[in-house]
């Protein structure tokens, strides 16, 4: 099935932008993200650990600043100036924070340590100009920054397509030797055994398989309803017992989890908008049924030239996996319309094709197969499953059974 990458970067807000930025303009939603201690602590620790040389006395840009928490962390780490770039009306609260820091003399003003160090820019990064940065800055400064920090992440990392905004800022405003936080995003996939949730998804389509709903035959809707149900990823935390080939404590994940790395300091816009994730699972140690894929993402804040003796790798890593404390991103279940029954020793291979769509998200096409033997490729498949998912059509389940 051919996919067309949406590369539109229209400078004007459309209705999707209004709804998207409207959501993030609410303090209630901002509070939910701040209360995600895994997320907030990971950013805070990595910024503080990298105060030298990436933040102290440096010019920083916070892309999609929201409530400004990352801007404030950067200032706590000693940044000379932070540009807080935010497109939503959350900037009204950021301006109030700046005004409050100047409202009183002496040491009684809230966050007075931000005085003349925080520049709020109300615009999408795509619309920001060097002149806007100069005008916003409380001190004379060139419109190029030493460090970019951003929490530009959606469900499964790429939903909402805000990673593109990070790359836009990097290409236009980051100095050649500048740093990006986080530097690496990692998509993670596992084989999933989850009969109860698979049956629930199946039931959404099968509900239409009736010939007498108040005297009406609904069966003409069945095929579309079935396809829609299985094309809708299920977002929500799931128990690690559903991950095939590991133990609940996350042991043996090397053979059970496939990872795809995105280096935000170097990846191109084209490679972010369309890419293939190779899958290879050698973790079937007993007969099982594969109902689909489990998916989540990790982040690394370590920079390419970080010395391992100075920077703690664990404190500069964040995971949203089912083996770790939950985050507001949760995990994603991608179900096959037809489960895959496997015996011990069989291996699973395949490819996930990600392609950006016009709904601030991605279409995902899967080609999964089990070969006859170790030396057989995709053309000699014993079993094959193909599936399609639309990440913007996600449904939700908050049960962790």
Catalytic residues: 151, 160
C-alpha distances in Å from residue 92, one per residue of 83, 98, 178, 247, 309 = 15, 10, 29, 48, 42
Which residue in 120, 117, 115 sits closest to 132, CA to CA?
120
251 bridge partner residues: none
Kindly give, in sequence order, each residue whose CB lies less than 8 Å from that of residue 84, ignoring residues fewer than 6 positions away. 62, 65, 68, 71, 91, 94, 118, 119, 120, 121
Which residue in 61, 277, 67 sits closest to 179, CA to CA?
61
C-alpha distances in Å from residue 44, one per residue of 9, 34, 157, 184, 364 = 31, 11, 19, 17, 33
* Tokens 């664990």, residue located: 314
Residue 111 in tokens: 């966050």
Kindly give, in sequence order, each residue whose CB lies less than 8 Å from that of residue 28, ignoring residues fewer than 6 positions away. none
CB-based contact 298:318 (threshold 8 Å): yes
In the DSSP assignment, the letter for residue 380 is G
Q: What's the rounded Cα separation, in Å, for the pair 321 and 266?
A: 25
**C-alpha angle with apex 232: 231 to 238, nearest 5 degrees?**
125
CB-based contact 137:59 (threshold 8 Å): no
CB-based contact 186:257 (threshold 8 Å): no
Segment holding 32, helix H or strand E? helix 27-34
Distance, C-alpha 282 to centroid of its chain: 26
């Amino acid at each position: 099935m051919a996919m067309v990458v949406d590369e539109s970067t229209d400078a004007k807000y459309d209705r999707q932008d209004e709804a998207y930025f409207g959501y993030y303009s609410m303090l209630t939603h901002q509070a939910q993200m701040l209360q995600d201690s895994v997320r907030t602590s990971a950013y805070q620790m990595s910024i503080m650990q990298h105060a030298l040389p990436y933040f102290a006395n440096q010019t920083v840009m916070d892309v999609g600043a929201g409530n400004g928490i990352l801007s404030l962390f950067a200032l706590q780490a000693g940044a000379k100036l932070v540009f807080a770039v935010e497109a939503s009306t959350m900037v009204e609260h950021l301006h109030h924070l700046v005004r409050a820091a100047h409202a009183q003399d002496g040491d009684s003003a809230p966050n007075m340590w931000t005085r003349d160090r925080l520049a709020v820019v109300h615009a999408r990064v795509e619309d920001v100009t060097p002149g806007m940065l100069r005008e916003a800055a409380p001190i004379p400064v060139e419109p190029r920054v030493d460090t970019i920090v951003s929490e530009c992440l959606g469900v499964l990392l790429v939903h909402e397509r805000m990673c593109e905004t990070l790359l836009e800022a990097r290409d236009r405003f980051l100095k050649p030797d500048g740093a990006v936080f986080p530097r690496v995003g990692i998509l993670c996939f596992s084989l999933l055994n989850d009969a109860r949730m698979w049956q629930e998804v199946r039931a959404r389509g099968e509900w239409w398989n009736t010939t007498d709903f108040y005297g009406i035959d609904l069966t003409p809707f069945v095929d579309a309803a079935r396809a829609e149900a299985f094309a809708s990823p299920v977002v929500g935390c799931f128990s690690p017992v559903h991950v095939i080939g590991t133990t609940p404590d996350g042991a043996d994940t090397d053979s059970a989890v496939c990872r795809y790395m995105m280096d935000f300091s170097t990846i191109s816009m084209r490679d972010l908008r369309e890419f293939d994730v190779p899958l290879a699972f050698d973790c079937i140690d007993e007969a099982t049924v594969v109902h689909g894929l489990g998916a989540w993402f990790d982040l690394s804040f370590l920079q390419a030239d970080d010395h391992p003796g100075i920077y703690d790798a664990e404190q500069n890593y964040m995971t949203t996996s089912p083996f770790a404390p939950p985050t507001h991103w949760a995990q994603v279940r991608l179900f096959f319309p037809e489960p895959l029954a496997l015996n011990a020793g069989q291996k699973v291979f395949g490819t996930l094709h990600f392609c950006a769509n016009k709904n601030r998200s991605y279409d995902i096409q899967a080609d999964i197969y089990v070969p006859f033997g170790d030396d057989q490729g995709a053309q000699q498949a014993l079993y094959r499953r193909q599936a399609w998912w639309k990440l913007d059509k996600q449904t939700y389940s908050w049960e962790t059974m």
